[in-house]
């Protein structure tokens, strides 16, 4: 494939609920500086200006609420909607079914609205070169491994925290998702790795947090305010 002609997609996985947020509103619809978190996330990919086709995977029961928010906020960024599945694995698989051409696809958590343009562009570029790209950041806290009734200190330098967007050649990820679902498929990298593919890690960002608790939302608001001042 000619790299200059590679189609670029982004699958935004937005099937979560507000359970850990203690909110009746699904966390991806909560307001962040006046705009639903999900819209911030979608805009990050649209703002990259590299012609990304965005696919939003959303549980069927949330479609009407999303349409109401689109009208309320006059949200005009074009997205295609795929129906959410039983698990994240099945949701991504439904999103992949909408990819018509070969290219590079990023899979991103809807509740990571602070992802930077630098991370997005680096992920696509690396995936074009190596077939995949997965953002990661180092651990800063001490960690221990739990074994039965005891815990064992381990070397944190041998571990890292994985983020999204995770980018892949469409040919590779579609082939990976032909596999049957397994409980240890915790992200797309684990699914692709099951094919025998080597996962390429790229630099992530400490700001690229996943908003799952009220504290995360407060942190995200602070980050956005600081970016506006800078």
3-state secondary structure of 109: strand
pLDDT tens by residue, 8-49:
999 999 975 545 555 678 999 999 999 999 999 999 999 999
The pLDDT value given to residue 151 = 96
Instruction: Read off the pLDDT of each residue in 66-75 and give the average, rounded to a whole number.
Output: 98
Give how far Cα 206 sits from Cα of 64, 72, 118, 190, 209, Å.
34, 32, 13, 22, 7
pLDDT tens by residue, 116-173:
999 999 999 999 999 999 999 999 999 999 998 899 999 999 999 999 999 999 999 9
Contacts of 108 (CB under 8 A, 6+ apart): 10, 11, 12, 13, 41, 45, 115, 164, 165, 166
Structural domains for the chain: 3-229 (3.90.550.10)
Would you state the torsion angle of the CA atoms of residues 144, 165, 45, 90, taken in this order, to the nearest 10 degrees? -110
How many separate helices (H) and strands (E) can be counted in the chain?
7, 12
Q: Above pLDDT 70, what percent of the chain?
A: 94
Look over the chain and give the mean of its residue pLDDT values, rounded to a whole number. 93
């Amino acid at each position: 494939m000619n790299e200059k002609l590679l189609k670029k997609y982004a699958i935004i996985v937005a099937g979560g609920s507000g359970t850990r947020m203690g909110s009746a509103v699904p966390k991806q619809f909560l307001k962040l500086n006046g705009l639903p978190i999900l819209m911030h996330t979608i805009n990050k990919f649209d703002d990259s200006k590299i012609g990304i086709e965005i696919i939003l995977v959303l549980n069927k029961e949330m479609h009407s609420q999303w349409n109401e928010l689109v009208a309320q906020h006059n949200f005009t960024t074009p997205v295609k909607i795929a129906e959410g599945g039983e698990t994240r694995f099945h949701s991504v698989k439904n999103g992949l079914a909408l990819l018509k051409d070969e290219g590079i696809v990023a899979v991103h958590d809807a509740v990571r609205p602070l992802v930077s343009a630098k991370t997005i562009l680096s992920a696509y570029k690396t995936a074009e070169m190596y077939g995949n790209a997965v953002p990661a950041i180092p651990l800063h806290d001490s960690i221990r491994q739990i074994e039965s009734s005891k815990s064992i200190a381990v070397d944190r330098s041998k571990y890292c925290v994985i983020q999204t967007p995770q980018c892949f050649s469409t040919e590779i990820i579609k082939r990976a998702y032909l596999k049957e679902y397994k409980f240890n498929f915790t992200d797309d990298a684990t699914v692709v790795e099951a094919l025998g593919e080597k996962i390429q890690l790229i630099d992530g960002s400490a700001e690229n947090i996943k908003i799952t608790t009220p504290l995360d939302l407060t942190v995200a608001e602070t980050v956005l305010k600081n970016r506006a001042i800078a």
